[in-house]
Amino acid sequence: MTTAPTSTLARIPFARAILNLWVLGVRRILVTVCLAAPVHVVDADEEAERLTPVPADQPIPVSDFFRYGRITSPSLNDSGTHVAAIISDGQDKQMLMILEVASWESEVVHGQENKDVYSFRWLTDDRIMFNLSKDKRWADSMMVAKIGRKIDMYSIYLRGSTRIIGIPENDPLEPIVWIQGGTSSKKDLGAVVLNAKLNVDSGDPRNTYSQLNYEYEHALYINEAHIEKLHPQVDSEWGQITGFQADRKGNLAYAYTMNEGRPKLHQLQGKEWVPSPVDLDAFNVHRVADKPGHLLVTEAITTGESGKLYELDAATGELGEMIFQDPEYGFAGRIYRDRKTDTVAGLIYDRAGPTSFWFDKSYDSLQKALDGFFPQKVVRLVDSNEAATIFIVHVYSDREPTSYHLVDLATKKITLIADSRPWLDPQRMHRMNIIQFKTTDGKKLDAYVTMPAGVTKDNPPPLIVMPHGGPWARDRWGFDPAVQFLASRGYAVLQPNYRGSTGSGWKFSVEDQWDFVKMHEDVTQATRTLVRSGYADPERIAIMGGSFGGYLALMGAVHEPDLYRCAVSFAGVFDWAESVEMASRNKNENAEYQIFLRYLGDPKEEAEKYDRFSPGRRVDQITMPVFVAHGKDDNVVHVGESKRLIRDLEKYGVEHEALLISGEGHGTQNLENSVELYERIEAFLAKHL
């Protein structure tokens, strides 16, 4: 057993001596737009202006907070000769960049105006498989880019929803993909093997990459040509498929189903799926373990102790030795594997602040060295080459957005790849502090507080309480664009991690983690704790959130009229019986309905319970102004939730504003819509606080 040390954000300056690394200056990335796409030549002055913060005497534009970052998700190929990453034009467009490390030159692959790259995986040293979305909402195509003197592009699956399961070590050009529906079949095909070597597009005059506008017959031909093999289907009697998992070698190994709200694990043995005795109500599966046929799991049932990480035999359900336990936080983070040995090297996760724990001493030394070079910042390993001699790390703080760096252990150099948001000046951003609060049942939980400039007890700022969505997620210490936007406008921001939030679930029973009223009460307790400190104006408090956070915002509006002055809700759920009814219409394709019935009960039989935690039924009790926003094409929470709320606010004469956004789903993906939303929120808060 290994116990994690206490988390700290302090860095270790003497660690510099471990590697004696030195940092290169910023080098400009050379971009070539290729593959029949229109080339936009950016003037050097125009480019510099886009990447430069506005002068310190000017307000930071709303758009600067919500523009896509220049770079995300960088990854090295096996040999470490190339870095691939998703990049943006600083506005809306997301593209795939392939950077040659030796020359520091790059090429950029992108689709039509309405198509964006949203994920990718290296297959081999010279081939990348990536996915395109359409209108930033719908899965559209799976493509392969072959690197050479000129990038060769071809499609391997069109007009379908696909998800990569694994890249087989013995044949990486035959990736295993979950096809959830599309042109070839409206139904879920399960796990299939795609032939990524085959370029059916070659020589087809219709295949200009900038025009992915294939007719049905051509898409069907492409898809059928590339499906090399269908893996055995999971028996429908076991419920709906919710996921697949590969083993350490990238081969299909596990399937997950949901039946009557109960998750089930299955192993692929030969050509058959065999149910595993592992109780997924008792354990959360994270990744495959080093030992074949074993999984890394944490306890999911409250035992009074923080979650323990075990190896578990998937075939027998037998637990191995406990290998890790944080004394205060349940582990729910990233398991980092050393690519050279393919063994678990360490854990990267969140306590009150970000932390990492390394089983491998060489990684622990590397972490300390990097911490020393980036004092007072968080440094996290992202990826490495197969030899584990070249690493990508990302570096950030509460005031500084992520920057990505290449670390070469052989040459002892650290090279900046790119800053994600160079147009934001860290000196104008605001510190995020960590506080604790007690729930009504005496449990301690964390919250984050970001203060605007000039705050004292004699000059307390107005406060925005911003509970996260999920609800089984969490807010994290670090740079947050929405928080920094609000702080730049003079507001303090409180982000409480209420019960059920990742890392604290072990403190509460399953019933408590599904008790939405108690979650609301936790948010209230956190708010009152901060108000008692004297660093928030008790007469000027608003509550604001999206998704489940939007639900909690309306709960606050209904139940805390003396605490909040106004509420802002985006894409919230307001009547859970209506949500269950909506889920029931799609219950054969979505496990959500059965999960609701299991944990919340049948609304027809437990009407009183549903009435208790459905604030949309108490709109007549709301006495404060409410701002309601929702994407019209939301397929997570139906826009009807907000339409009904708006109708009832009008019916009961509650002051309100509404914004229903065309072309958006569960959140805003288009910059112009994000800007409109937050400009409206800014004006609403200024009016009422």
Q: Which two tokens stand for residue 532?
A: 């008692």
Peptide bond into 481 cis (omega under 30): no
Backbone angles phi, psi at 82, to 5 degrees: -135, 145
Nearest one of 285, 234, 269, 255 to 165, comparing CA atoms: 255
Q: Is the pLDDT of residue 90 over 80?
A: no
Mean pLDDT of 440-469: 96
How does pLDDT run across 501-537, given as a tens digit for each residue? 999 888 898 899 999 999 999 999 999 999 999 999 9
Helix (H) / strand (E) containing 599: helix 592-600
Q: What is residue 180's predicted lDDT score, i.e. its pLDDT? A: 86
Q: Which two tokens stand for residue 242?
A: 């919710």
Q: Which two tokens stand for residue 67?
A: 């523009």
Cα 113 from Cα 38, distance rounded (Å) = 10
3-state helix, strand, coil in the chain (%, to 5): 25, 35, 45
Look up residue 374 and give its DSSP letter. S
Nearest one of 575, 574, 573, 642 to 607, comparing CA atoms: 575
Return the number of other C-beta atoms located less than 10 Å from residue 227's C-beta.
17
Residue with the two structure tokens 């003197």: 149
543 contacts 556 by C-beta, under 8 angstroms: yes
Q: What is the CA radius of gyration of the chain?
A: 25
pLDDT category at 25 given cuts 50, 70, 90 is very low
Q: Is the pLDDT of residue 102 over 80?
A: yes
More confident call, 206 vs 440: 440
Three-state secondary structure call for residue 391: strand
Peptide bond into 292 cis (omega under 30): no
Nearest one of 151, 504, 170 to 350, comparing CA atoms: 504
Nearest one of 401, 384, 385, 190 to 393, comparing CA atoms: 384
Helix (H) / strand (E) containing 346: strand 343-350
Full set of structural domains in the chain with CATH: 13-419 (2.130.10.120), 426-574+619-688 (3.40.50.1820), 576-613 (no CATH)
Any idea of the CA torsion for 358, 363, 368, 374, to the nearest 10 degrees? Answer: -110
Q: Is the pLDDT of residue 214 over 50?
A: no
Task: Please spell the DSSP secondary structure of 34-101, one letter per residue.
Answer: -TTPPP-PPPHHHHHHHHSPPPTTSPPPHHHHHSPPSEEEEEE-TTSSEEEEEEE-SSS-EEEEEEET
Category of 503 on φ-ψ map: left (φ > 0), alpha (ψ -120 to 50) or beta: left
Mean pLDDT of 282-291: 93
Cα 74 from Cα 638, distance rounded (Å) = 34
Tell me the pTM.
Answer: 0.91
Mean pLDDT of the chain: 88
631 contacts 661 by C-beta, under 8 angstroms: yes
Mean pLDDT of 84-90: 88
Nearest one of 253, 262, 264, 347 to 308, comparing CA atoms: 347
pLDDT category at 303 given cuts 50, 70, 90 is low
Q: Is the pLDDT of residue 208 over 50?
A: no
Helices (H), 330-374: 361-373
Backbone angles phi, psi at 128, to 5 degrees: -125, 135
Q: Which two tokens stand for residue 656?
A: 């309100």
Task: Mention every residue, 6+ apart, whose C-beta is less than 8 A from residue 146.
Answer: 126, 127, 152, 153, 154
pLDDT category at 560 given cuts 50, 70, 90 is very high
How does pLDDT run across 609-633, given as a tens digit for each residue? 999 999 999 999 999 999 999 999 9
How does pLDDT run across 376-422, given as a tens digit for each residue? 999 999 999 999 999 999 999 999 999 999 999 999 999 999 999 99
Cα 401 from Cα 399, distance rounded (Å) = 7
pLDDT category at 186 given cuts 50, 70, 90 is low
How does pLDDT run across 572-615, given as a tens digit for each residue? 999 999 989 888 887 666 788 888 899 999 999 999 999 999 99
Q: Which amino acid is at 417?
A: I
Q: Which amino acid is at 352?
A: A
Helix (H) / strand (E) containing 682: helix 671-688
Tally the residues of the chain.
689
pLDDT category at 159 given cuts 50, 70, 90 is confident
For the chain, report the end-to-end CA distance as a whole number of angstroms: 52
